[in-house]
């Protein structure tokens, strides 16, 4: 029953469109077995449903991106989520489009990033100057005169 509920949820989340059903069945069987504490490996499920390991992993990662995967076992059994997800291919296309937009705006970003880096460098140098420990005693006079390197070289 749990595998059937998982398949219904996958279908509601548009995971079934453009796919062969065996990959979804394998993912549902594996998740249901693990929900009920049956120790089944991916290879055992692959030998039953006759799909590639990569296909099974893709379906599991697609299911992981849905809100159903965030539910606990008790919540999954009691609650039926009303909200549907977008198809995984649509979500992948949206991510690809966003990445292209970021790369196309990359030329504009470099001007601001250079300015930000220059401000950051100025702040770091000011912090380094203000956080230096003040020398006291005989070494303080050498540091003011710029002879500190000469003093240390004499000891080496």
* Residue 77's CATH number: 1.10.472.10
Domain around 110: 105-155
Domain match, 97 and 112 both:
no
Span 89-138, pLDDT tens digits: 777 888 888 888 877 776 555 666 777 878 888 888 877 776 666 666 66
* The model's pTM: 0.55
Span 43-54, pLDDT tens digits: 999 999 999 988
User: Which tokens is 104 given?
Assistant: 């196309």
């Amino acid at each position: 029953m749990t595998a059937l509920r998982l398949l219904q949820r996958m279908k509601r989340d548009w995971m079934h469109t453009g796919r062969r059903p065996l990959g979804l069945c394998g993912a549902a069987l594996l998740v249901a077995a693990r929900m009920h504490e049956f120790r089944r490996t991916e290879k055992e499920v692959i030998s039953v449903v006759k799909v590639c390991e990569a296909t099974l992993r893709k379906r599991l990662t697609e299911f992981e991106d849905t809100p159903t995967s965030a539910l606990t076992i008790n919540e999954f059994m009691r609650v039926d989520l009303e909200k549907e997800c977008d198809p995984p291919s649509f979500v992948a296309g949206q991510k690809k489009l966003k990445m292209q937009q970021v790369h196309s705006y990359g030329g504009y970003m470099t001007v601001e990033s250079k300015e930000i880096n220059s401000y950051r460098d100025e702040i770091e140098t000011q912090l380094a100057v203000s956080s230096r420990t003040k020398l006291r005693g005989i070494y303080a006079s050498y540091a003011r005169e710029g002879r500190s390197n000469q003093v240390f070289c004499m000891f080496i």
